[in-house]
Every structure is written in C-alpha cells, then in structure tokens.
C-alpha cells in the first residue's frame, strides 16, 4: 500500500472512525491473515492447500479413521510451517487494538495460534486447536507438546499413553462438527457486536461464513479486508481488497493515534 490514493486514505479514515465509535467490536479472521507469516491458505490459485490436495482425501474425519497415517503424512509439513511462523503486522495490530479496549473479541478459523503469539488474550478458536490431542479409542486428552518433536523429526504418529490408541489433533476436520462451546460463543458475539471486522476470510465455509450476516441483520457495521470479494462485499460498509498486513496496521494507527 505504498503511496495510497486519496480514495484509500478516505476509506482508512472511515474504517478508523467506525472502530472508534464501536462499543463492542469483534474480529473474524481466516487463513488470509496468516499468509504473510508464511502459512498457506486453502483456496488461492497455485499456492492454496486445496490446489494441491483434495481436502476430503487428506483432511476428513473419514480419512483419519481409516488411514490416519495418510492424514499425518499430509499434516506434517503444515505443522512445521505453523510452528515456525511468527505473527505479522496484522496479528500485532489486532492485539494492539484489543489492549487499547477497542476490540472485544477475536473469532478465528485458524489453528496457528498466531493471535496468541501476538499478544491477543480473547481468542475463540472455532476450528479447534493444535494445543491438545484426543485419543480415538478412550477419548483421553493429552497436551500436544511432548508429541511434537518425535512427530516432526521422525514422523512418529502420536499414541495414547493409556490405551495405545491413535491420538487425533483437536482440530476440526471435514465431517466434524465445530466445538460446541466455541461455536456458541461465536454466535453470541455475532449477535451482540455493533461492528464486525472480517480479516483474511473468503467467507466460503459454513457455518462460520454466516456469522457476519447475523451481525448485519442486527444492525452492526461490517468491514472486510480480504484479497478477493466475498458474498457480503455488497453489504459491507467498507471492503479492502488488499493485504491485511498492510491495511490493518494503517487502520489501527488511525484509531489509536489519530
């Protein structure tokens, strides 16, 4: 966003104004906020995960149940990328906004925990977490840390210390329901917010893609920052078809420092 146009400057100023006026702003983030950190998104042409692999063949609950080694073979390089990634300016900007009491909550579709690394305290992980694993046989839950190094270095599939069953990362695969507690919290946030800031989400995956619509239907403002248009672009107050790592810090700087 070098040498922004007068139109872009006006849009940034308006976005900052909406955030300053908001009493209960909520951010909804998707894979696009983390691509500047080196984590691939899902649908980008040529670089997205689903341009290389068929999701139902590698990342479905069915595949995990019948061929967990296939899932883990696909998952291993992605985990390496996630663990090596660092927050980018967009993550840091949201954390700064939260610390200034201008952002109530972050709802994220991501499992990379970059919001937490950036310093955000109130994050709802709607698609699960890499922090824990659950046994597919006895349902025992284990912290993932002890299993990470053997898995990444040697490809050892984690197994339950209690029954020997295969441990599944507590991330949501195709064919799984969203975590109930996180989903209820996300719905409540969408109903109660007066501004929703969508960052890096194509709004193509339901039911999460319906959250901004819930907010709009209750009179909330909507700002979308994403590289491509979404189905709600026509109803948003503002749409930035640009890199979130450039746009979001520019907005937050205006919110906090004028």
Structural domain spans, the chain: 1-39+87-127+178-258, 40-84+128-171
Asked if residues 105 and 25 have their Cβ atoms less than 8 Å apart, the reply is no
For residue range 189-231, list pLDDT tens digits in order.
999 999 999 999 999 988 999 999 999 999 999 999 999 999 9
Does this model's pTM top 0.75? My answer is yes
Domain 40-84+128-171 has CATH 3.90.980.10: no
Structure tokens at 26: 């909520």
CA distance 48 to 130: 20
Third-level CATH fold of 1-39+87-127+178-258: Rossmann fold (3.40.50)
Nearest to 85 by CA among 49, 51, 53, 41: 41
Task: Tell me the pLDDT band of 54, cut-offs 50, 70 and 90.
Answer: low
- The pLDDT score that the predictor gives to residue 124 is 98
Of 91, 104, 115, 127, the catalytic one is 127
For residue range 111-137, list pLDDT tens digits in order.
999 999 999 999 999 999 999 999 999
Residue 127 bears catalytic tag: yes
């Amino acid at each position: 966003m070098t040498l922004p146009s007068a139109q872009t400057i006006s849009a940034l100023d308006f976005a900052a104004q909406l955030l300053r006026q908001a009493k209960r702003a909520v951010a909804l983030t998707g894979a696009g906020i983390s691509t500047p950190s080196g984590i691939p998104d899902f649908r980008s042409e040529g670089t997205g995960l689903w341009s290389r692999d068929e999701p139902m063949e590698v990342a479905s609950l069915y595949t995990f149940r019948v061929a967990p080694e296939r899932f883990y073979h696909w998952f291993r390089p992605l985990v390496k990328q996630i663990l090596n990634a660092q927050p980018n300016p967009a993550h840091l900007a949201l954390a700064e906004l939260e610390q200034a009491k201008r952002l109530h909550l972050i709802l994220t579709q991501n499992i990379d925990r970059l919001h937490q690394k950036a310093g955000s305290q109130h994050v709802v992980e709607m698609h699960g977490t890499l922090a824990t694993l659950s046994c597919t046989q006895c349902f025992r839950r284990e912290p993932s840390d002890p299993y990470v190094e053997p898995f990444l270095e040697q490809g050892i599939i984690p197994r339950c210390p209690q029954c020997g069953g295969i441990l599944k990362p507590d991330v949501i695969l195709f064919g799984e329901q969203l975590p109930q507690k996180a989903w209820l919290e996300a719905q409540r946030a969408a109903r109660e917010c007066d501004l929703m800031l969508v960052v890096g989400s194509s709004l193509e995956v339901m039911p999460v893609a319906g959250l901004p619509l819930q907010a709009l239907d209750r009179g909330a403002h909507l700002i979308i920052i994403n590289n491509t248009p979404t189905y709600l672009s026509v109803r948003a107050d503002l749409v930035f078809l640009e890199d979130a790592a450039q746009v979001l810090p520019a907005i937050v700087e205006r919110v906090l420092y004028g």
